[in-house]
Amino acid sequence: MSLQSHSFDSLSENRLLNFLTPNDRNRLLARMTAVSFGLKDVLYNAGGPMPYVYFPRNGVISSVTVMADGRAAEVAATGREGVIGLTAYYGAGQSPEKVFCQIPCDTWRLGTELFVDEVRRGGRLQALVHGYTRSVMRLVAQHAACNCLHTVEERFAKWLLMSRDRAGEEEFPLTQEFLSYMLGVRRASVTLAAGMLQKAGLIHYRHGKIRIINGKKLESAACECYQIIREEFEYPL
Amino acid sequence: MSLQSHSFDSLSENRLLNFLTPNDRNRLLARMTAVSFGLKDVLYNAGGPMPYVYFPRNGVISSVTVMADGRAAEVAATGREGVIGLTAYYGAGQSPEKVFCQIPCDTWRLGTELFVDEVRRGGRLQALVHGYTRSVMRLVAQHAACNCLHTVEERFAKWLLMSRDRAGEEEFPLTQEFLSYMLGVRRASVTLAAGMLQKAGLIHYRHGKIRIINGKKLESAACECYQIIREEFEYPL
DNA sequence: GCCGATTTGTTCGTTTCCGTACGAATTTCG
DNA sequence: CGAAATTCGTACGGAAACGAACAAATCGGC
């Protein structure tokens, strides 16, 4: 994690912040700090405190539910369309999930209490946060059903496409070990699925990096959940 | 679905409403109608309108995500601890899920716009709704991971216990066909799991009715997710 | 360019669950 | 009471994924 100084740009690269009026946005930015995260840097531990909320400007942040035996599954991925620490606004004292950096990213960091106060003021920020809440609930619900009903290969493709959309990149760092943790399956199952998709020419990967070759066909390989989620997050105001 | 007249009792049998001040509660009750639902009655269709919200007084309401091929999986069960139609407050024009009656119940029905206006006033109702939102997000996230990581038998036991807590009954109507729809698995898989639990003396079932015989042991048969969710909603033992 | 660490490929037997099908038991209703 | 409908038991082959282990490929640092 690294801190940087910043000038008060008109746009913030975060969708929620960008929908604010320039006045509101600048007031918030004045209280924020630019913070960057590297691969696997932890923002919150499960059951740990949430002193800050974060507005990603790029990259992807993952939230995973961890079971008692250490196994885990991702419940949400957040990019520049959202904010990390939403549940604090709804009264959570500790993070219910482990939250960490999946694709290296830059964020705006804001003290949690400041965030809560700002949202409570109402206005457009509150409307945005409420709309985002609705989208997150839909996302998690769709994942829940998806995890019951769809194969590893379909979920693998869905996951890649979602990461691409959020990061805005066709290539990003990703090990199969890591992804098996996200999907809640064996690493060998990921190898199998990855091999199929690579043979079909949809992706290319190699020692910790993966690249999407044919996004259109990859969408066909993914389950319907991907489209549903993508549409959910294309909310205008 | 049936409508009944009602007198303005001081308590409503719904946990959210009961936490309100008597004044607030009575103001809401004055605008509500008592509505009862029978098995499989539909409150909202997926993509359909949400003209009313409902505060259950007993029984259980299920929300399921339905896929294009008709298969489905439950993402939430709601009893007297919550409210149906929460997402309307967060700006949803249509229900993202199919919502229907799982265990026959009586509810208080309130016009959606009235509900939204009341919550927007702030005060204790808003605090309760926000806290409930947090709990629901946790519930759905836990289900999402659970669906990846736990067996049908574990999830079966979890489901029974959650239904019992919400309905406040040890016995309720339930067909295996119905449950297979909830769990997103084959009916034959449910038969297998049910047979195991019955042989072990934890439950007894017969032609559409199921009874919990040994709740304590059933908790051991369930995955850890059950306890986590129960604590989240602070159900009494 | 070599070495250790990381990442990926592959194998084995096993378990869980699937899709399908059909018969038996139970309940409902005319 | 008898017929129809619902619900449950079970069986089959097959697919998907598991847990574990080991070998091969690739990369980064020296």
Q: Which pLDDT value is given to residue A11?
A: 76
Question: Residues in chain A, how many?
Answer: 237
The amino acid sitting at A141 is A
Closest alpha carbon to C1' of C27, residue: B207
Q: How far apart are CA A18 and CA A8, in angstroms?
A: 13
Q: How many CB atoms lie within 10 A of CB B72?
A: 22
Distance of CA A176 to the CA centre of its chain: 18
Return the structure tokens found at A65. 């539910």
User: Mean of the pLDDT values across residues A218-230?
Assistant: 96
Q: How far apart are CA B192 and CA A177, in angstroms?
A: 33
Q: Which pLDDT value is given to residue A2?
A: 55
Q: How many CB atoms lie within 10 A of CB B44?
A: 24
> CA of A175 vs C1' of C1, distance in Å?
27
Q: What is the pLDDT of residues B66-98, one digit of tens each?
A: 999 999 999 999 999 999 999 999 999 999 999
Closest CA to B94 of B45, B161, B149, B145: B45
Q: Which pLDDT value is given to residue B5?
A: 45
Q: What is the pLDDT of residues A134-155, one digit of tens each?
A: 999 999 999 999 999 999 999 9
pLDDT at residue B31 greater than cutoff 70: yes
Distance of CA B197 to the CA centre of its chain: 23
Q: How far apart are CA A129 and CA A108, in angstroms?
A: 16
Closest CA to A160 of A226, A79, A98, A208: A226
Collect all residues from B whose CB is shorter than 8 A from any CB in A: 63-65, 67-68, 71-73, 75-76, 87, 89-92, 96-97, 127, 130-131, 133-134, 136-138, 140-145, 147-149, 183-185, 224
Write out chain B residues lying below 8 Å of A72, CB-based.
145
Nucleotides of chain C touched by protein CB (<7 A): 6-12, 16-21, 26-27
Q: Is the CB of A206 under 7 A from strand D?
A: yes
Q: What is the pLDDT of residues A174-202, one digit of tens each?
A: 999 999 999 999 999 999 999 999 999 99
CA distance B136 to chain A (A): 9
pLDDT tier, B234 (very low <50, low <70, confident <90, very high otherwise) = confident
pLDDT at residue A236 greater than cutoff 60: no
pLDDT at residue A46 greater than cutoff 70: yes
Asked if the Cβ–Cβ distance from A144 to B65 is below 8 Å, we say yes
Residue that is written with structure tokens 């999946």 in the block: A102
Backbone angles phi, psi at A120, to 5 degrees: -65, -25
Task: Identify the closest residue of chain A to B180 by CA–CA distance.
Answer: A148
Q: What is the pLDDT of residues A118-138, one digit of tens each?
A: 999 999 999 999 999 999 999
Of all helices (H) and strands (E), which one includes residue A203? strand A203-206
Q: A214 CB contacts (<8 Å, ≥6 apart)?
A: A201, A202, A203
Closest alpha carbon to C1' of D27, residue: A207
Q: How many CB atoms lie within 10 A of CB B200?
A: 13
pLDDT tier, B12 (very low <50, low <70, confident <90, very high otherwise) = confident
pLDDT at residue B236 greater than cutoff 50: no
Q: How many CB atoms lie within 10 A of CB B35?
A: 18
Q: B13 CB contacts (<8 Å, ≥6 apart)?
A: B57, B58, B80, B106
> CA of B207 vs C1' of C29, distance in Å?
17
Q: How far apart are CA A223 and CA A153, in angstroms?
A: 9
pLDDT at residue A5 greater than cutoff 80: no
Q: Taking a C-beta distance cutoff of 8 angstroms, is the pair A194, A176 a contact?
A: yes
Return the structure tokens found at B175. 């067909």
Output the average pLDDT for chain B. 92
Write out chain B residues lying below 8 Å of A143, CB-based.
144
Best of B71, B90, B94, B234 to disrupt the A interface (most A CBs within 10 Å) is B90
Task: Identify the closest residue of chain A to B232 by CA–CA distance.
Answer: A96
